[in-house]
Structure 1
Amino acid sequence: MNSIQKKIWSLAAVVLFIMVVIWIALTYYNQKTQNQYNDILQRYLRMNEVSNASQQTVTTLNDYSLAPTQDKLNQLQRNKEQLIQAKYEIFDLRNADNDSAITNYVNLIDSLIETTDRSLMFKSEKESEESEKAFTEATRISKYISEMTLTLIDTELKTYDQFYRGIIEQSSELKKLGIWLLLSITFLLLLFTYAFSLSITRPVLKLTQAAKELSRGRFDLQVEVASNDEIAFLAKMFDRMRININNLFTEIQQKAQLEKELQDSKLLLQESQLRSLQSQINPHFLFNTLDTLSKKAYLEGSEETSDLLASVAGLLRYNLKRLDRSVTLYDEVKVLRQYMEIQKARFTDRLQFESDIDESVLYVQIPGLTLQPIVENAVIHAVEPQEDGGTIRFRITDAGERVFVEISDDGPGMEEDKINQILEARAVETGGHSTGIGFSNVMQRLRLFYGRDDVIEIESAEGQGTKILLKIPKTRGTEKDDQAPDRG
């Protein structure tokens, strides 16, 4: 670890240690005081609980005497149990100062319980006069318990009065101690910070002065810094830089000359590429020529050849569109049908194409050149290698918020590893695509276009064909296309 870092970490460690010590001391003192305060408060609450339980018992006994019911009898039993529980908790409050008072207090509780039981017994034996006397005695004992509770609480207050005063005095002393600690720590930190800043700023000032001289072109002044930290190392590197600057000037000139020659070479290469492009066939000229040949074939009576040339021209024109532009499903289905006409002319009866299209959802937006590469992939792998050809099924259905586009074939299927490669958008060698667009490219554009990953599913197994399911959202983000395109 470097010297400056050691200084910084040392300062941080000292501050952290002091803060931890202060925090532990304050936490210990606060917890100790809080525990003592809670113990005293529990004593008061237990005594008050006895008084409340005795009063509740007498009240319930009176209600039962006036109108005896099983519910009131059960309530009276629960009150007696609470009173007994409170009595046991009173034993924990016994000490040398209140031993006699606690003993009398417990005896009063026992007397109340006994008197209550006696009143119930007389009530059950229908001795109303004796029951009334027992109730009166229970009421009198309950009043004694309440008075005794107040007496005990008053005694407790007097006993712990000194404790409260001690807490107040300790809090005052703690505040004074905190102020002195704060002042002391602040003073020490100021001293340490001043010394630490000097150890850094002095060498930095020397380096700054040396940099000014270097900027003026004086490369003969040696940089010397009297320290043993990173700044000294920086000064040595600065001095080496001063020595190497002249060599760098020469290297920069050589690089400038080399860059000029490289730029000239790039210009020549661009000119060569331009000439090469000029020698290529213009695609627009090509599909215009195909249109002309189609019309000529039609006029000569070769209607099938004319339709085929028209399909090729339409497919070429569609493929010239930019891939980053969206189109409708209607456009994609249209070019797909043109593509299949070309393939049927090629494979004749070996290729069967079945379609089921819901016309009401063809307004949905989709990236250009999405469906044709997928179907072309099925033709290449499921139809072309098979001697008997194969069948491709194309289906578009409305699935609520999405449109499902299903493309399936009865070809040899795909292995699970290849399916995973496609779903993970890794390049897969498919070969032979007329558009130059592979399956992974289509899937990547779909995911980017809709901003989600769950837009494609692949079901396939060896010897069982392949089914591609596109889950096309009807809306793209907040964008909605509410009108179908003009299909005229």
Structure 2
Amino acid sequence: MNTIQRKIWLLTTVVLLIMAVIWVTLTYYNQKTQNQYNEILQRYLELNEVTVSSQQLVMDLNNYLILPSSTNLEQLINSKENIRSIKQKVYALRHEENDFSLTNYMNLIDSLIETTERALLFHSENETEASAKEFSEANRISTYISEMSLTLLDKEIKTYDRFYRGFIEQSVEIKKLGIWVMLLITLILLLVTYWFSLSITRPVSKLTQAANELSNGRFDLQIEVSSNDEISFLAKTFDRMRMNIINLISEIQEKADLERELQQNKLMLKESQLRTLQNQINPHFLFNTLNTLSKKAYLEGSEEMSDLLVSVADLLRYNLKRIDRSVTISDEVTVIKKYMDIQKARFTDRLQFYMEVDHSCLDYLIPSLTIQPIVENAVIHAIEPKEEGGSIWFRIIDAEELVLIEIEDDGNGISEQNIWHMLEETPHERENENAGIGFINVVKRIRIYYGIQDVIDIKSSDGQGTKITLKIPKTRGISYDDEALDSR
């Protein structure tokens, strides 16, 4: 057992032993006094109970003589049995000083019971006068019993007067003894506590002083505490900790420098990945647009050609200028409108385009060229293959912490296997159609931009159309410094 723990257990044991001795002594004395007091009180109560029972018997006898019913008769019989049982208890109260009086007292009880029975007998024989005479006699005996009870109580009080006086004197002496014992115990405990606390506080004070010096940055002071308990071991350990802190500070400084360089490298790597993904431009749209313009110029030669050329020029200018920047959703919506104007000119009535936009969501930032590749993918795979054409729905919805961008078509749909490849950013058979790369590019860019994986949801099946939902957080994931990007 450790030294400090041994001291604590020793002090606790002494205190518990003293408390146990005091408790046992007080308990024994209190129990003894209580038993004597209860015995005396029980004697008084039993004598008083005789008086009450005799009066009750007379009252029940009177009730029966006035109204001889079965209920009153039963109550009268119960009263007689009750006073007989009390008589047996009173017999146990006999001692030398009350032997004669208690004998007369018990004879009175017997006389009361006999008189009651005679009154009942005369009443049953319709001898009213004799029954009334016996009732008067019973009433007189009951009065004698009450007076005799008071006499016996007076004798009991005088008999136990010495006990009361001795009890009071003994209580005073016990109080005095208790005060002296408490003072002595308090003095002993104070001395033991002072010695015990001093053996702990002295080395602790030295250790506290050393800790204060250590908190002030003085790691060169050696900690020395002389004691024969655990605090000495604690001081030695504290001194070793001081040396470890010195070494740890040096290591932390080195690791901080290394971590700073690592974070800078990670940031540069993310920027590089984002730029690489943004620079993967799908030439499919440019080829189809130029082909459409050439056919339109050849076939019609109208002013509509001018509008188409303006739209194409705006799209090319947007792509070249915004390729490495964040843009608002409003900018992307404008590009989608221009792109769909070109596609409507290409497909005429084969293409139906519907747009629903919540204007409160237009000011949030997203990576450039995020929505157009998905809309283009819908045109390529939902409109082109079908001779009768099809429809595309474009929606922007405010969903509390997210902006939902939905692109839905009524094309032939996508298989579950291809959906899995698209979400996992792995190559699949649709790359041969020049659309898979652009879609995977969008998914990668959004995930890198916001730093989360759950940014897209695809619902589709073969022959049932496709619905793609972009889940855009309203807080940006990666901070861009456009001016810094331009300067690079």
Q: What's the TM-score once normalised by structure 1's chain length?
A: 0.58
The answer to whether the 8 Å contact 1:207/1:235 transfers is yes
Q: Paired residue for 2:452?
A: none
- 1:252 equivalent to 2:286? Answer no
- 1:266 equivalent to 2:263? Answer yes
The C-alpha deviation readout for 1:94-139, integer Å capped at 9, x for no partner, is: 2233233222222211111111111011111101111111111111
How far residue 254 of structure 1 moved from its aligned partner, in angstroms, is 4.6
The answer to whether the 8 Å contact 1:108/1:141 transfers is yes
The C-alpha deviation readout for 1:381-436, integer Å capped at 9, x for no partner, is: xxxxxxxxxxxxxxxxxxxxxxxxxxxxxxxxxxxxxxxxxxxxxxxxxxxx9859
SS at match of 2:96: coil
The 2-side partners of 1:74 and 1:221 are apart by 99
The answer to whether the 8 Å contact 1:65/1:123 transfers is yes
The C-alpha deviation readout for 1:165-206, integer Å capped at 9, x for no partner, is: 111111111111111011101111121122223322333444
The 2-side partners of 1:119 and 1:47 are apart by 25
SS at match of 1:257: helix
The 1-side partners of 2:46 and 2:225 are apart by 80
| Matched residues, number | 329
Q: Paired residue for 2:79?
A: 79
How far residue 220 of structure 1 moved from its aligned partner, in angstroms, is 7.4
- Structure 2 residue identity aligned to 1:263: R
SS at match of 2:95: coil
Q: 1:25 to 1:278 in 2, by over 3 A?
A: farther
How far residue 278 of structure 1 moved from its aligned partner, in angstroms, is 5.2
The answer to whether the 8 Å contact 2:223/2:238 transfers is no
- Structure 1 residue identity aligned to 2:229: D
Q: Paired residue for 2:224?
A: 223
Q: Relative contact order (alpha carbons < 8 A, sep ≥ 6): 1 or 2 greater?
A: 2
Q: What's the TM-score once normalised by structure 2's chain length?
A: 0.58
The C-alpha deviation readout for 1:251-294, integer Å capped at 9, x for no partner, is: 63354233212211111112222343455586896556666887
- Structure 1 residue identity aligned to 2:263: K
The 2-side partners of 1:211 and 1:46 are apart by 76
Deviates more, 1:232-241 or 1:192-201: 232-241
Q: 1:251 to 1:300 in 2, by over 3 A?
A: closer
The 1-side partners of 2:92 and 2:8 are apart by 55
The answer to whether the 8 Å contact 2:112/2:141 transfers is yes
Q: 1:283 to 1:90 in 2, by over 3 A?
A: farther
The C-alpha deviation readout for 1:468-488, integer Å capped at 9, x for no partner, is: xxxxxxxxxxxxxxxxxxxxx
- Structure 2 residue identity aligned to 1:104: N
The 1-side partners of 2:207 and 2:143 are apart by 91
- Structure 2 residue identity aligned to 1:159: T
Larger radius of gyration: 2
- 1:46 equivalent to 2:59? Answer no
Q: 1:123 to 1:237 in 2, by over 3 A?
A: same
The 2-side partners of 1:304 and 1:166 are apart by 120
The 1-side partners of 2:219 and 2:374 are apart by 75
- Structure 2 residue identity aligned to 1:38: N
Q: Paired residue for 2:232?
A: 232
The answer to whether the 8 Å contact 2:390/2:411 transfers is no
Q: 1:45 to 1:142 in 2, by over 3 A?
A: same
Q: Paired residue for 1:88?
A: 88
Q: Paired residue for 1:125?
A: 125
The 2-side partners of 1:342 and 1:36 are apart by 103
Q: 1:136 to 1:258 in 2, by over 3 A?
A: closer
The answer to whether the 8 Å contact 1:294/1:305 transfers is no
How far residue 57 of structure 1 moved from its aligned partner, in angstroms, is 1.0
How far residue 2 of structure 1 moved from its aligned partner, in angstroms, is 1.9
The answer to whether the 8 Å contact 2:119/2:135 transfers is yes
The answer to whether the 8 Å contact 2:223/2:236 transfers is no
The 2-side partners of 1:111 and 1:343 are apart by 120
The C-alpha deviation readout for 1:345-398, integer Å capped at 9, x for no partner, is: 779xxxxxxxxxxxxxxxxxxxxxxxxxxxxxxxxxxxxxxxxxxxxxxxxxxx
Q: Paired residue for 1:447?
A: none
- Structure 2 residue identity aligned to 1:20: A
- Structure 2 residue identity aligned to 1:223: E
How far residue 304 of structure 1 moved from its aligned partner, in angstroms, is 9.0
The 1-side partners of 2:172 and 2:90 are apart by 35
The answer to whether the 8 Å contact 1:223/1:238 transfers is no
The 2-side partners of 1:295 and 1:343 are apart by 9
- Structure 2 residue identity aligned to 1:270: L
The 1-side partners of 2:219 and 2:247 are apart by 18
SS at match of 1:97: helix
- 1:177 equivalent to 2:177? Answer yes
How far residue 238 of structure 1 moved from its aligned partner, in angstroms, is 4.5
Q: Paired residue for 1:67?
A: 67
The answer to whether the 8 Å contact 1:120/1:131 transfers is yes
The 2-side partners of 1:11 and 1:34 are apart by 34
Q: 1:288 to 1:97 in 2, by over 3 A?
A: farther
- Structure 2 residue identity aligned to 1:273: K
SS at match of 2:97: coil
The answer to whether the 8 Å contact 1:51/1:142 transfers is yes
How far residue 232 of structure 1 moved from its aligned partner, in angstroms, is 2.1
How far residue 9 of structure 1 moved from its aligned partner, in angstroms, is 2.1
Q: Which blocks of at least 5 consecutive residues in structure 2 are unaligned?
A: 279-365, 416-454, 459-488
Alignment of 1:299-378 (within 5 A): 305-306=390-391, 309-310=392-393
The answer to whether the 8 Å contact 2:47/2:149 transfers is yes
Q: Paired residue for 2:360?
A: none
How far residue 66 of structure 1 moved from its aligned partner, in angstroms, is 2.3
